[in-house]
Amino acid sequence: MKASDYRASVIIAIISVLGIGAVISSGVISSLILFLLMGVVPGTSYTLSPETMLILWGVIAGIVLSGLGSSSVRYLREQPGKLRIHKKRPQLPRRRYARAAAQS
């Protein structure tokens, strides 16, 4: 590893730690958790009803599951050889049909 690569890695690590510290100390994480678990809208005293939060969670789950499903289908279409577990059997010769046609 070159000295410039090492320096860049250290700078990125320091900036990441400072950014994570700033997000944690600003209260964004606690506001997000309160919104997702109890429906408290950040910066207001308004809370969403349980039915609204259930609908919101259902929509989020649907988006995540459809994204996972479409990416797995796309992966399987790009890798068709990896999907097969058993090798395809060679087809039997069709001579028996030729004999049956000649006899009739």
Q: pLDDT tens, position by position, for the chain (104 residues)?
A: 677 788 889 999 999 999 999 988 888 888 888 888 888 998 888 999 999 999 999 999 999 999 999 998 888 888 766 666 666 666 666 666 666 556 65
Please indicate, yes or no, whether the overall pTM of this predicted structure exceeds 0.95: no
Domain boundaries, given as residue ranges, for the chain? 1-48, 49-82
From its phi and psi, is residue 2 left (phi > 0), alpha (psi between -120 and 50) or beta? Answer: beta
Task: Give the span between the Cα atoms of 87 and 60, in whole angstroms.
Answer: 40
pLDDT at 68: 94
3-class SS at 47?
A: strand
Task: Give the span between the Cα atoms of 72 and 78, in whole angstroms.
Answer: 10
